[in-house]
Chains A and B, each alone.
Chain A
Amino acid sequence: MSDLKDKNSFEAVIGLEVHVQLQTKSKVFSPDANKFGSEPNQHIHVISLGHPGSMPKLNKKALEYAIEMGLACHSEIGRYNFFDRKNYFYPDLPKGYQVTQDKTPICKGGYVEIGFDTNTPKKIMLHKIHMEEDAGKLMHVDGKDISAVDYNRAGVPLIEIVTDPMITSSQDAGAFLTEIRKMVRFLGISDGHMEEGSLRCDANVSIRKKGVTTLGNKVEVKNLNSIRYVQKAIEVEIERQTNLTLQGKKIISETRLFDPEKNQTYGMRMKEELNDYRYFPEPDLAPFVVDDTMLDDIRKKMAKLPRQYYDDFTQKYGLPAYDALVITEKRDFAHLFEETVAHTTCYKQVSNWLMGPIKSYLKENGTSLRKLSLTGAMLADLVNLVEKGTVSYTVACQNIFPEVIKTGKAPHDIAHDMNLVQESDSDVLMPVIKEVLAQNADKVAMYKSGKKGLLGMFMGEVMKKTNGKADPKLTNQLLVESLA
């Protein structure tokens, strides 16, 4: 019990460094393709390889993307900027230095809000976002005592998002990363795939006695290939540091790797050298200025963020927080919702369709919304057909929706073509009802003598004769009246 009490007297201080690969067509300083999954060393322009005499040239798109992220995070955008060189030797680093921004990060400060669907939203404060180039990849050749280098990734544009050391739990770290991933995907500046390395996260973890304001020795945890691993690693690292401290041992500032199989972190068994990167301004790239016109243009072009959609969906369309959160998980869903509600006012029904039949269809068929020809107008049409009673929900789901996907035709056309429109005219339904009752005189007698359960049977017969198109509500009402 006292052990537990001791443990609870500590708090964690976590800072995250998130690298995001920007999905520009070409690399950040050279014209070769920024493409994942090619054979090794296919995209290796002389600039990417740092051949003697080559010089970098800034990809404007990468700059725009970085600024978009900064605006999305409420950061201050740097107006006068230059790049710096970070010098160190490693075979995956072709020039022996990485071009990065040390002195003038493109974005300063800012924050990302998490938990905004709850009563306790939090702002995760950012220290900075800067641009830099990615390195290549070392590959260990199977069965041989050699390593090979693939430079396809060398020069791929990155932004590094650095938070303040202010995150206090693995849950918040996970929520922050989830939000960042959504943001870059909504902005369309990165695919955010952690398993492919287009989103990478290092966690700086330290602990301190509650009430203490100084920071403890921090441990940098690397090799975190999913949000779940980030959370796990933080948890085990907090546990490890707490135990060490309780045992009276010191926490060494070091870099540790996370082993997801053993669910533990381990030291990198490398010479812990004091890294001196000898930063200095990159003399091969001209300093550049971001002016008001450029910022205005970017603001105008910028895609809507998940948070903005969330606010619209809950406030403008009255969706429950849960619905709004689910629909804003993916950009295509949010887009489709917004497109659909331009044609219908049945907002909640649209949300139900998206979270219900559409989501399950995508899951069952292993496809994505983008690959379907489903437009907002079509979905609105479908919702409206049910809402007006033209077709039943079941028919809309089981008969019309698959046909819309298959043919791309408008739902109301399909309803008519396939003869699925509900019969809601009592002048048409009454003769059918009379016929059914006449043919089942014995059952009518039984009903009248108290077997009210037979109503379903009459209903079934009417449906049979109308090929299922009889409006169930109206039919029910007419039957009850006729049998009275």
Chain B
Amino acid sequence: MGIDISIVEKETGVYLIALKGEINTQTYQALEDKARPTTVKAKAVVFDMAQVNYISSMGLSAIFRIKLAVEEHSGTIALVNMQPKVQLVFDTMKILSPQIFASMEEADDFLDRFLDGVQTGQISPKNLPGKTK
């Protein structure tokens, strides 16, 4: 199974990347390649994972590299709507847990506080706002 990647700019500098399919050894490069033009300029990238039914360590590494690229210019990422088995892989690896959200509303709240905090100089990618729930 391949991967479908849809990228839309929700608001200035905030991108929604909706993924459908598997992020595996065959598809991770397509994700990185397609996301790259966005990641070099984004203030925030939100991954909608609702239709991702499988992720391997190659997929984890791809998302991690995107995170690092966005953080290079003081942006951040959020992941929402994960299926339980995909969430299990993230939980097992103990990565990105502060940036995983059950719903788009929670992610939006996080990003609002992040972007406000960056503007006021109180928050950086290495000093994320906490979750409200």
Our verdict on whether A and B bind, yes or no, reads no
